[in-house]
A and B are shown apart, each in its own frame.
Chain A
């Protein structure tokens, strides 16, 4: 394990990333957006000391912006990880070393996570303002951080998968945004469309809006990050209050399994010579 965390790719990626000016720019812009919007609202609507602890809107706003930024940054951090090496013509050399494709993929994911964590830690002081003004429980805060972490992990592995699968970084970035859009917006729309059309087609089967209690539909809602985020924040949007299971737990399991699948699939796709399952059993033979 120790040797994994000091593996050469991690060291190299950190050096490359933290020496480039781009990183400083990303961090600065991120903090500007994350801090500027809530502070702007505060300035527009100054709160009195008496109102401390009673302004939930600020918390909701910060959480919303934070989630949007994660959706925006996480895929972009990894969507060029492999295709970038391919474009710079360093991938072939990397593949002739003793690093396994799984190590390469995992290291790339970990470095992007490290960077996302840096962004998260850097925004913590801003949250202290939010905590001061908003009525937020530590439990909610913890759930929110878990939620954001899972999103970072999932979107990062999605970007990584696209960059392994697709040759060019530009196309891979667009594709990973597209797939992320499906999970964020598409699943929510599907939930409404399917629910509404079932309700209208078979009103006798689902008396008084019973369609929203269907477990399949609830699962669809459970994999939609927006529903789950609202659940964590304690707000309810249309029909989401009828979910019978703990949505964020379902959400976490679903996206963690997708992450694992993406990582293994990428490692498989990255192999220059892919073995099929039946050739795994044959032992390497030495001739001479």
Chain B
């Protein structure tokens, strides 16, 4: 276990921000931490990064206790807060060299290291630009490079994609994928699920300080649910498809949606496959048949609804 929390709890005054959280994340895994605002994601991450003391329970990073051995924890972990600033009057290279120095990396090694990191986050062309002149997306990538200065085994990224435009998000995601390939263990939080779905090996859903679902993306989204929302688009014979669907016993709530069809399907994966076969046999030219994109958010809503209220 690279990250482990045992009965972790945190109280702010009377507010129970985190209660009895048990997480364990294996080496090299990307763990998505999902929950609405105020659920306790940032609190957990602050505790793991040795910036906040828990009220109860224990947390370990790479086997080191965060409360008792913060120095070793800091050496093995890179933390990117949800909001962070950069220094004025420093260039990107100087900014990274500062943190390299703060991690006691010998001066002769810093130059090459910084060049590599800038290369990794595609900022080589901005090496000599002042950091406060960079765009938000670039600052975010620079922040990610900053986390990697001391080559930590674990990365904790708090909502790294919030406030970024779609293009910057995609760039960030590509970098995180690269980091996963480098074998880093990554804990990444978001309040938007689709953002994480593709990136994560496992996800944990947290609500009001409690972990309410945990497992692979597939497990969590199919948990206790045989009904899913599906989407279909056909180049020709879409009317035939509509006819078949409306007569199908497992389909309900059929409607037109974005030039295609959307419907609720109740049944197993096998039944879905059978339905597709049936459509194709009826000469429907299917170009898309699958779960609706909005599905993950619906899943998320259905999981979190009614918790605490």
Are the CB atoms of B72 and A90 closer together than 8 Å?
no
B146 within 8 Å of A (CB atoms): yes
Query: Which of B79, B89, B103 is A15 in contact with, Cβ under 8 Å?
Result: B89
Are the CB atoms of B102 and A15 closer together than 8 Å?
no
A128 within 8 Å of B (CB atoms): no
For the complex, give the distance between the alpha carbons of A274 and B1 in Å: 27
Are the CB atoms of A12 and B52 closer together than 8 Å?
no
Are the CB atoms of A273 and B75 closer together than 8 Å?
no
Convert B40-73 into 0s and 1s, putting 1 for each residue whose CB lies closer than 8 angstroms to a CB of A.
0000000001111100000010011101111110
Tell me which residues from 1 to 18 in chain A have a Cβ below 8 Å from any Cβ of chain B.
Answer: 7-9, 11-12, 15-16
A287 within 8 Å of B (CB atoms): yes
A181 to chain B, nearest CB (A): 31
Convert A212-251 into 0s and 1s, putting 1 for each residue whose CB lies closer than 8 angstroms to a CB of B.
0000000000000000000000000000000000000000
Convert A13-51 into 0s and 1s, putting 1 for each residue whose CB lies closer than 8 angstroms to a CB of B.
001100110000000000000000000000000000000
Are the CB atoms of B64 and A284 closer together than 8 Å?
yes
A95 within 8 Å of B (CB atoms): yes
Are the CB atoms of B146 and A93 closer together than 8 Å?
yes
B94 within 8 Å of A (CB atoms): yes
Total interface residues on B, CB under 8 Å, equals: 40
With a cutoff of 8 Å between Cβ atoms, the chain B residues found around residue A92 in the complex are 49, 51, 79, 81, 84
With a cutoff of 8 Å between Cβ atoms, the chain A residues found around residue B84 in the complex are 89-90, 92-93
Query: Which of B1, B74, B98 is A11 in contact with, Cβ under 8 Å?
Result: B98
Give chain B's interface residues, CB within 8 Å of chain A.
Answer: 1, 49-53, 60, 63-65, 67-72, 74-75, 77, 79, 81, 83-90, 94, 97-104, 146, 150
Query: Could you show 27 A-B contacts with beta carbons less than 8 Å apart?
Result: A8-B99, A8-B100, A9-B98, A12-B87, A15-B89, A16-B87, A19-B89, A20-B89, A88-B87, A90-B87, A93-B79, A94-B102, A97-B74, A97-B102, A98-B71, A98-B75, A98-B102, A98-B104, A98-B150, A272-B52, A273-B52, A273-B53, A273-B67, A274-B53, A284-B69, A285-B68, A287-B60
Given contacts A94-B102, A97-B103, 15 further A-B contacts (CB under 8 A): A8-B97, A11-B98, A12-B87, A12-B98, A16-B89, A88-B87, A90-B84, A90-B86, A90-B87, A93-B84, A93-B99, A96-B49, A96-B74, A98-B74, A274-B53
Give chain A's interface residues, CB within 8 Å of chain B.
Answer: 7-9, 11-12, 15-16, 19-20, 88-90, 92-99, 272-274, 282, 284-288
